[in-house]
Chain A
Amino acid sequence: MKFSHQNAHLAYNQEVKVPQVSNQLEKQLLNFSHTHSIPIQQETKLMKDITDAQQRMPAQLYAVITEMLRLIEKIDKK
């Protein structure tokens, strides 16, 4: 794939802003983990992305996933 401005528009039309990282809570989290010896990746930038910014999955989609996992097992056993 040729990486260029010509095909860049295919995926990303909108302007992307620089992520704003507020580090206070993340630092607090890292301190808490350190104090209580909880294994955690020691990066504040990463913490924000994998805590508050996570997309939540509603209960109905967990139920759909469960049904699909059951179906997959049934398929493989056939």
Chain B
Amino acid sequence: MQITNQTVNLQDFSNMKPSGKESFKATVKEKLSDSEAILTIKGQDIKVKFNGDMPKDENIQVKVVGMEDDVPVVELVNKENKATQTTEAMLPETYEDVEKWIKSKNIQLSKSDIQALKKYLKSPGMINEKIETIKMLVQKQLPFTETHLKSIDEALHGEPIGDLLKEFVTQLEKNGSGVFQMLKSKIQQAQQFSTLNESTTENMHVDVKQQENKMSMPTDQESVSLSNIQEETRNLKEPTEQEINHKTIAQEESIKKTLIQQENIQDETSPNTQTDSIKDMIEQIMPLINEAAAYISPDTKPIVVTKVTEKMAQAANEFRLAKREMSLKLSNVETMLEKPQMIKPALEVVESVINRLDRALTSGDFLLFADMKTEKKMLDASTKLAEAKQLLQEGKKSEATAIVQEVKKTVDSLNFQPADVKVKHFVSQLAMDDTVENFIPKLAETYQFATQEGNSVRHTAEYFKQLGLHHERDVQQAMFKREIPIQNMKSLLISLANEGEGLSKQATQLVANITGHQLLNKSESNTPAQASQIQLPLFYEQQIQTVNVYLNGRDEGGSLDWQNCTMYFLLNSEKYGEIGISLQTSNRQLSLTLKNNNADFQEKMSDLTDNAKETFEDLGYNVRKVQVTSFQQEEAKQSEKVIETKSGEGYDIVI
């Protein structure tokens, strides 16, 4: 398991010279003797010798005081001293070292950088954690502002987001908000949505499908050349600064206005037909919208119904444009592949279709409503095009052409068919005002909805969006599109933090956590190897937990290469303690490892891994191995691998 940040820590830990000053947070995994134990530091197990008392607690703080036979000798650090420990005493020496090291990386520090660094190093906290924060800023090429330092520090060393949210909810509850009850009911409501059979909508929307077919059938005039498509694509992009400055943004738009807007961007060849088709489709699904809004209070129902209808009209049009753009581009790829000299341009167009599919899958509004078959077909299309791209790079033109033709057929067969569960979920979310009290239950509902069987990409991306992990990017997009962005948790928390009273302290901490993780997701421009990490709150069985997700992979045109990457999920379960799930993919060959030290974990989990093969193969991976093991066994196996001995341990289920 190669997790860059963790590996760095481990290397630092094992290579450091004992100073007796720095300390580490650790968990005692196993006591080997009266003086030796295995400690887990940042998810990695390290054998140590204790100088003095062995720990009684599981969670401890240790400092390294020596080395014996390459094994670190550690001493317990009194936890009570932790809060009062500051770097003040060691600042002169340490700060000089820090500044020297930063400058050795050819980074010039401004006066304000130096001020911010000094302030940060003087603030309460552990020196090794501060150094880790500073190293991360250097790695991510971030400026040394107070906000950057504070945010990265909070993300790396602060309380997990789930705990922060729990504290936040508790405070809200003390104010009599009734948030606990709302949280409970939203989780239950989302679970009820999952019991509805999505396929029941199929018959109901036969007419919708017909209308959609009518809308998405390309006309003769639509068989345009690549240059026309490129022109069209440019037209679909963001408006210019001038346009933004000269137009105002309407917060509430009626259905009529929306339809007029849609008409303006319709194909010039048949504007009336297209608008009529959308109108017809809206009429067809009106009963479904009304059904979904049945439990909403009569006062707010008309507003909600108007908003949903408007959104559906926009989604239908967005779907039509995306489908047409992809279909025409794929037609052009087919034509281009007939000429040997056009392979390189064809490859670029394939890449642009992959990006278009990706954009639709992760942020397309129509997938908030469309049935699961549509999302699955689009994901398959993206996976197949990645294969075609690979084949083209290898010069295998005929195989690539066959895939492109197959994908084009898939794209042409796509239909916008709203699913009742998704419409109901959307209505449920719209019916709740964007207040702080409402937002966590709303988030919990989205989490539940995203993780139900059948749902996959779009609603998980929506969960990230609602958390505020894309807040600033969303505002930027809204600015380009002359819209008002939808509220998310981060935007609400920023407002609360700015109020400077009540819950502002907790809000500030949560904003720093989210911002820190956004910064950890920044591209590292001078290397193809990318590393990022996120923290996600998990909402289930009326609990809020946290999972840390570490991602490492190659940069593939601004996004991580899903075919060659490493993902590591780490969480603390109340029932089982620390659980690690590692996924390693190399040329789509996937290995999955579940790690936990609980005695009966391996046996209990064996049946869960049985489903893994099918699930991941659906996503385009070939599953090589699924195994359940303990942290120690995994560590031992890796060591044994190094000295080339055979492994006899572990509970391997080879598929």
Contact = CB atoms under 8 A, between A and B. Distances in A.
Contacts of A71: 581, 608, 612
B596 to A, nearest CB: 8
Contacts of B521: 54-55
B457 interface: yes
Interface in A16-58: 16-19, 21, 25, 28-29, 32-33, 36, 38-41, 43, 45-47, 49-51, 53-58
B460 interface: yes
A61 to B, nearest CB: 5
A56 B561 CA distance: 10
B139 A12 contact: yes
Interface stretch (B28-36, B159-167, B325-333, B491-499): B491-499
Contacts of A65: 460, 536, 549, 567
Given A11-B8, A21-B143, A78-B604, A41 B97 contact: no
Contacts of A57: 362, 551, 559-560
Contact of B141 (A19, A39, A68): A19
Interface residues of B, number: 113
Contacts of A56: 358, 558-560
B518 A54 contact: yes
B402 interface: no
Contacts of A49: 140, 142, 148, 518-519, 522
Contacts of A70: 451, 453
A64 B484 contact: no
Residue from the set B19, B383, B460, B530 with the largest chain A CB neighbour count within 10 Å: B460
Interface in B512-530: 515, 518-519, 521-523, 525-527, 530
B15 interface: yes
A68 to B, nearest CB: 5
B562 A2 contact: no
A10 B138 CA distance: 13
B651 interface: no
Contacts of A73: 451, 538, 540
A56 B13 CA distance: 32
Contacts of B74: none
A45 B104 contact: no
A60 B382 contact: yes
A37 B527 CA distance: 38
Interface string B555-584: 110111010010101010111100101010
A28 B472 CA distance: 12
Contacts of B526: 14-17
Given A69-B451, A72-B581, A40 B472 contact: yes
B107 interface: yes
A17 B141 contact: yes
Contact of A63 (B456, B532, B540): B456
Given A46-B147, A69-B538, A63 B475 contact: no
B12 A39 contact: no
B614 to A, nearest CB: 11
A59 B522 contact: no
Given A10-B15, A61-B565, A73-B540, A5 B101 contact: yes
B471 interface: yes
A72 B456 contact: no
Interface in B172-191: none
Contacts of A11: 8, 11-12, 135, 139
Contact of B562 (A39, A55, A58): A58
B19 A2 contact: yes
B473 A10 contact: no
B422 to A, nearest CB: 15
Contacts of B485: 38
B616 A67 contact: yes
B278 interface: no
Interface of A: 1-5, 7-8, 10-12, 14-19, 21, 25, 28-29, 32-33, 36, 38-41, 43, 45-47, 49-51, 53-78
Q: Which 6 A-B pairs have the closest CB atoms?
A: A56-B559, A59-B361, A39-B494, A60-B562, A50-B518, A39-B495
Interface of B: 8, 11-13, 15-17, 19, 22, 94, 97-98, 100-101, 104-108, 128, 131, 135, 138-143, 145, 147-148, 241, 244, 249, 357-358, 361-362, 378-379, 382-383, 447, 450-451, 453, 455-457, 460-461, 464, 470-473, 475-476, 478-479, 484-485, 491-492, 494-495, 498, 511, 515, 518-519, 521-523, 525-527, 530, 532, 536, 538, 540-541, 545, 547, 549, 551, 555-556, 558-560, 562, 565, 567, 569, 571, 573-576, 579, 581, 583, 594, 604-605, 608, 612, 615-616, 619-620
Given A10-B15, A43-B147, 13 more contacts: A17-B141, A18-B107, A29-B472, A38-B485, A46-B145, A46-B148, A49-B140, A53-B523, A57-B551, A59-B457, A62-B361, A69-B538, A73-B538
29 contacts: A2-B22, A3-B94, A7-B15, A7-B16, A10-B8, A10-B11, A12-B135, A16-B139, A17-B141, A28-B479, A29-B472, A39-B494, A40-B494, A41-B494, A41-B511, A47-B472, A49-B519, A51-B473, A54-B518, A54-B521, A55-B530, A55-B559, A55-B560, A57-B362, A59-B382, A60-B620, A61-B551, A67-B616, A70-B453
